[in-house]
Each structure stands twice: as structure tokens, then as C-alpha cells.
Structure 1
Amino acid sequence: MVSYREKKVIPIGTVSELTGLSVRQIRYYEERKLVVPERSKGGTRKFSFEDVDMLVEVANKMEDGMQTYEIHKMREREKKQISKEKMREEMLKGQLNVQFNRHRPPS
């Protein structure tokens, strides 16, 4: 089930109001692949609350002097780390299930 924070339902104008960023800045961050909105059938951008958080974080890092490519690289490293952690977690769950006979083969 998708949490409300992940649902892409917020139009760009509202995102602009929430973040204090201009529509132009938001589109620029989209071009740089720092945020990926969905598009409605009519082509309208739809953002999630997670996207709003990311845009605020990006704006703060830009204000601190970071470049968009540095932010993009940092996000890619974070995604890889999260992916590795999820894989470790799944492996541990599997090992525990085998150890404690929680996994039953199909009959």
C-alpha cells in the first residue's frame, strides 16, 4: 500500500507555495533529475509530499553552495546504500526463518 506521502497528487503551483521555490526553479530541478513528478493525461505535473521534502532539501543545499550534479551524485549514493540495507534485511529475515523453521515448503 502506498503511503499518502508517496502519492503524486500535488500540482506544481501548490508545490511552489509550500516550498517558496518558483515554478521555474522546480522545473529546473526536474530537468536535473533531482525530482521526478508524474504527469496527468493532460500533461500536468503531480508531486508527492516526499517530492516537496526533496525540493526543500535541494534548495537548502544549493543555498549552501552545492551544485546540482553534486546533489544528484549524493542522492544516487544514498539510494544504493538504502538498497544494500534492504537486501541485508531480507537476507537476515530469510536466515532467521530457516533457523527457526518458520519457512514451510509447499505441500
Structure 2
Amino acid sequence: MSSYKDKKVITIGIVSELTGLSERKIRYYEERKLIYPERSKGGTRKYSFLDVERLLDIANKMEDGMQTFEIRKMEQKQMKKQEVRDRMLRGQLNAAFNIRK
């Protein structure tokens, strides 16, 4: 079940107000593949509360001097670590409950 934080319901204008980032900068982060808004049938970008938090994190890292490719690379490493942890946990649960695939 997804949380309200996952629902993509916020428009770029509201995201801009919430974050203090310009709409142009938000679109730039999308171009650099750091954020992935959904699109409505009319093409309007829709963001979630998690996206808002993510944009604030990206902006802070950019202010600290990181480049977009560094942020993306760091994210990819974190995702791979999480995948490994998830696989290990599934393996431990499968062993504990004697589940075979």
C-alpha cells in the first residue's frame, strides 16, 4: 500500500512555492534525470511529497558544490546497496521459514 507521500498530485507551481526553487530549475533536475514527475493527460507535471523532499535534498547538495552527475551516481550506488540488502533479507526470511523457489 502506498503512502500519501508517494502520490503524484502536486503541480510544478506548488512545488516551486514549497521548495523555493524556480520552475526552470525543477525542470532542469528532471532533464538531468534526478527527479521523475508523472504527466497528466494534458502534459502537466505532477509531483509527490517525496519528490518535494528529494528536490530539497538535490538543491542542498548542489549548494554544497556537487554536480548533477555526482548526485545521480551517488543515488545509483545507494539503490544498488538497498537491492543487495533486500536480497539478503529475502534469503534470510526464506531460510528461516524454509521457503524454496
- TM-score normalised by structure 2 residue count: 0.95
The aligned counterpart of 2:14 is 14
Give the structure 2 partner of residue 39 of structure 1: 39
Q: State how far apart, in whole Å, the 2-side matches of 1:9 and 1:48 are.
A: 6
Match of 2:75 in 1: 75
- Aligned residues with identical type, % of pairs: 58
TM-score (norm. length: structure 1)? 0.90
| Structure exhibiting the larger radius of gyration computed from Cα positions | 1
- 5+ unaligned residues in a row in structure 1: which ranges? none
Q: Where does structure 1 differ by over 4 angstroms across 4 or more consecutive aligned residues?
A: none
Per-residue CA distance 1:24-65 (angstroms, 9 max, x = gap): 000000000000000000000001111111100000000000
2-side partners of 1:88 and 1:21: how far apart? Answer: 39
- For structure 2, list consecutive stretches of 5 or more residues without a partner in the other structure: none
Deviation at 1:3, TM superposition (A): 1.0
Q: Which residue of 1 aligns with 2:26?
A: 26
Aligned counterparts, 1:45-56, within 5 A: 45-56=45-56
